[in-house]
Each structure stands twice: as structure tokens, then as C-alpha cells.
């Protein structure tokens, strides 16, 4: 069994927890400081109920709800809270994986009462951070992720062999992670309307109509394999982070800010374990481009977030001067090798190395992302 934890309106909930005055009020978190000239990075549930969502311009949001509260995004808060929640989940004694900055997967095999465990996790998160989480439990990560979406906010859904079909038939196929609008419309034309219709289709049917993606979808829906591996390799194959936006966005600065943020998160993990990477992989998903993924190998291995980000920009340049709509972003570093202990030759390299060491020392003492590069903040 996989237990999937999905934080509720994560960024907005953190801002409401920090500032009690914002509790219960419609709130948007903007990608920039400019209240009327920004993009909605996140919306509280009070704002969502009146039709406001991520990716919407703030001007449009204020037309819908003139009494909106506004806070500019401060990414360090969200990354720090995400790391703390990750550590909290590890205290339950199971293997925990990041799914994104606000989603976590836990292998709970042989747990006698999964729902009781889910309630304990939710209660502890709320007690520690004053924010809520929704939990899905199922035989694989894809169904568990679906379950976490079905009783939001602050709910628990357990999908078992006994209730699985009854639950799946109540929701459209687009509810399944990875089934975008265009794919859902295509499936609808084939008579595949609900999650149950999709679940009951054969691997052959999905391969004939969706190709390799269809096979992957079938395996993900029916797998009972844990993400756990009996043998943990000494050297990881890659280090990566990804984030799924609540809706597709077109703002290039917003997208690049997220790439910068993810690059920094990856770099911090590389430095923590004394790795450097020579290959950077950038992944984007959106309704216009589907899954875009490209990687580039470089002669010089690095573990500096700025350098990883700059390498990602070289990859994204393949898409041309105008970025398409983007819904999800991922940055992964591979080609790992142990960090070199050779002293850099150039003055700027020495200064940059000392700066990164100072940043790591401060964050180690005062908590992750107590200090971070100004350019990664979505408020820029």
C-alpha cells in the first residue's frame, strides 16, 4: 500500500498560518510584489470557491473578488516547511519520497490500520504547522495520488479492492494524474469517460490508442509494486525535484522562477551528499507541448544552483523565444561524481565556492533556506 500526502492550498495555507488575520479570508499569493500586475501563484480555498485559481492574472482575480487579501510569494517559507514535513513523515518509520514540494509518498506495506495512520499523520501536521493535508491510500502511487484529491481539503480516502470500482466510476478520466485536457477529450471520443472506464481498458487498447504513454498509464494504474527497492545503491543515478502547478501558466518569468527554485533545491541536495553533476535534464508538461524533456551533458560537473539553472535555460532555448503553456516542471541532475577537492584557480570561482559554503553553513544552523538567492523568489 502507498500513502500519498497532499498538502491543501499549500502556499496560501502557510501564509494564513503565519498571519492569523488572513485565516478564513479569500487570499491569493502573487508571483511578484506588484499587487495588480502579477500572476496568482496560489489561492486559498476561500478564493477558490469564488472561481479564482493559480495562473490567473491578479487583475482578473480582483475583479471576481474585490476584497481579496494579497501576499507576495516568499519561496523560502514554502521550501523550509516542505523539508520539515518530510522529516516529520520520516519519524513514522516508513520510507518517504518527495512527489513534489507539497506532496509526499510513503510505503506503508504491512500496516494493519492504514486509515488510522493517515489520521495520525494529518493530526501531527496540523499540530506542528497549523495547516491541513489530504491523504489517499491505495495499492500504487497513481491511485493513492488520485485518492488524495477526492476529499479535499483535510480528508482521507482509502481505495481498496472492495470499493475501488465504485469510487472510480464517479469521477471523469481527467482526474487521473497525467491525463490532460487533450488526452481526456481524445479518450472521451473512444467512449472512455470515467476513471473506471480507463481502469478497465486493456493494455493492448491503451497501447493502440496512446502508444508508449498508454502502456505506462496501464502499468501505473494496475501495479502493486512498491517504490521501495530492496537494495539501495551506494551511488544514486540522479537527483531531481519537480512541481505541478494547479493550472497551466504562460508567464515566462513565473516559469523560469520555478526552474530556478527547483535548480537550487537539487543543488542543495547534491552538496549535502558531496555530489557533482555533469548532465542536466529539464522536463516540462503542458496542454500545448505534452511532455517536453531534454537533457544536455557538460564537460564540467557542478553542484551550484545558479549554474544548474543556467544550463536549464540552454535546454529551454530549444523551445524558441516564446514559451508554451506549462503545467508541470522538473529539474534532474545525473552523471554524478564525487565533488572535487582541488582548489579552483580563478578568483571568481574561489569566491563563489566560499559563498556556497557560507550559505550551506547558515542553512544548516538555522534551517533550510534561511538564506537563499534573491532571484529564486517568485515575488521577483
What are 102-152's pLDDT values in tens digits?
999 999 988 889 999 999 999 999 999 999 999 999 999 999 999 999 999
- CATH 3.30.1490.100 range(s) for the chain read 238-365
pLDDT at 167: 94
User: Does the pTM of the predicted model rise above 0.85?
Assistant: no
Topology of domain 169-226 in CATH is: DNA polymerase; domain 1 (1.10.150)
Positive or negative: CA dihedral 165, 287, 132, 43: negative
Q: What is the pLDDT of residue 202?
A: 92
103 in active site: yes
327, 288 Cβ separation under 8 angstroms: no
Other Cβ atoms less than 10 A from the Cβ of 224: the count is 9
The CATH code for residues 238-365 is: 3.30.1490.100
Dump the DSSP string for 53-80.
-TTSBHHHHHHH-TT-EEEE--HHHHHH
Please give the mean pLDDT across all residues of the chain. 85
The three grid cell numbers given for residue 84, joined into one nine-digit string: 520539515
Which residue, chain included where needed, has cell 490500520? 113
For 49-79, the pLDDT digits (tens) are: 999 988 888 999 999 999 999 998 887 788 8
* Across 10-19, average pLDDT: 94
380, pLDDT greater than 60: no
CA dihedral 296, 300, 305, 306 (to 10 degrees): -90
Query: How confident is the model at residue 211, as a pLDDT?
Result: 84
pLDDT recorded at residue 77: 84
Question: Which CATH entry fits the domain spanning 9-76: 3.40.50.300, 3.40.50.620, 3.40.1170.60, 1.10.10.10?
Answer: 3.40.1170.60
**Is the pLDDT assigned to residue 345 strictly greater than 50?**
no
Bin 241: left if φ > 0, else alpha if -120 < ψ < 50, else beta.
beta
Domain with CATH 1.10.150.20 in the chain: 169-226
* Pair 151, 157: CB distance under 8 Å: yes
Is the model's pLDDT at 182 over the cut of 50? yes
In this structure, what C-alpha cell is assigned to residue 158? 482509502
| Strand 133-138, strand 156-158: pairing | parallel
Q: Of residues 103, 264, 276, 307, which has the active-site annotation?
A: 103
Q: Is the pLDDT of residue 379 over 50?
A: no
pLDDT at 350 over 90: no
207-211, 237-241, 324-328, 376-380: which range is least confident on average? 376-380
As a whole number of angstroms, the longest Cα–Cα distance in the chain is 66
User: How does pLDDT run across 279-303, given as a tens digit for each residue?
Assistant: 999 989 888 888 888 888 888 888 8
Amino acid at each position: 500500500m502507498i500513502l500519498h500526502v497532499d498538502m491543501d492550498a499549500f502556499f496560501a495555507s502557510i501564509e494564513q498560518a503565519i498571519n492569523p488575520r488572513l485565516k478564513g479570508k479569500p487570499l491569493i499569493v502573487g508571483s511578484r510584489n506588484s499587487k495588480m500586475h502579477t500572476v496568482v501563484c496560489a489561492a486559498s480555498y476561500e478564493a477558490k470557491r469564488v472561481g479564482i485559481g493559480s495562473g490567473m492574472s491578479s487583475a482578473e482575480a480582483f475583479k471576481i473578488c474585490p476584497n481579496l487579501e494579497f501576499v507576495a510569494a516568499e519561496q523560502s517559507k514554502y521550501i523550509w516547511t516542505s523539508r520539515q514535513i518530510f522529516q516529520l513523515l520520516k519519524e513514522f518509520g516508513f520510507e518517504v519520497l518527495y512527489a513534489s514540494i507539497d506532496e509526499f509518498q510513503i510505503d506503508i506495506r504491512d500496516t494493519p490500520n492504514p486509515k488510522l495512520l493517515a489520521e495520525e499523520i494529518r493530526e501531527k501536521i496540523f499540530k506542528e504547522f497549523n495547516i491541513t493535508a489530504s491523504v489517499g491510500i491505495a495499492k500504487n502511487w497513481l491511485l493513492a495520488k488520485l485518492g488524495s484529491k477526492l476529499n479535499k481539503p483535510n480528508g482521507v480516502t482509502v481505495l481498496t479492492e472492495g470499493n475501488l470500482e465504485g469510487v472510480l466510476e464517479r469521477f471523469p478520466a481527467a482526474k487521473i494524474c497525467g491525463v490532460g485536457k487533450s488526452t481526456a477529450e481524445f479518450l472521451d471520443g473512444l467512449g472512455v469517460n470515467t476513471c473506471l472506464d480507463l481502469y478497465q481498458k486493456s493494455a493492448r487498447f491503451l497501447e493502440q490508442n496512446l502508444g508508449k504513454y498508454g502502456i505506462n498509464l496501464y502499468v501505473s494504474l494496475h501495479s502493486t509494486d512498491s517504490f521501495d527497492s530492496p537494495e539501495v545503491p551506494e551511488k544514486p543515478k540522479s537527483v531531481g525535484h519537480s512541481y505541478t502547478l494547479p493550472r497551466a501558466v504562460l508567464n515566462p518569468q513565473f516559469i523560469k522562477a520555478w526552474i530556478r527554485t527547483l535548480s537550487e533545491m537539487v543543488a542543495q541536495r547534491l552538496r549535502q551528499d558531496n555530489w557533482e553533476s555533469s548532465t542536466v535534464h529539464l522536463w516540462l508538461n503542458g496542454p500545448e507541448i505534452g511532455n517536453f524533456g531534454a537533457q544536455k551533458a557538460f564537460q564540467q560537473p557542478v553542484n551550484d544552483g545558479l549554474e544548474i539553472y543556467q544550463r536549464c535555460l540552454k535546454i529551454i532555448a530549444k523551445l524558441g523565444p516564446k514559451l508554451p503553456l506549462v503545467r508541470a516542471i522538473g529539474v534532474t541532475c545525473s552523471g554524478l561524481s564525487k565533488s572535487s577537492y582541488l582548489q579552483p584557480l580563478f578568483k571568481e570561482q574561489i569566491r563563489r565556492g566560499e559563498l556556497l559554503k557560507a550559505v550551506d553553513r547558515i542553512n544548516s544552523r538555522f534551517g533550510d533556506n534561511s538564506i537563499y538567492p534573491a532571484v529564486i523568489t517568485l515575488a521577483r
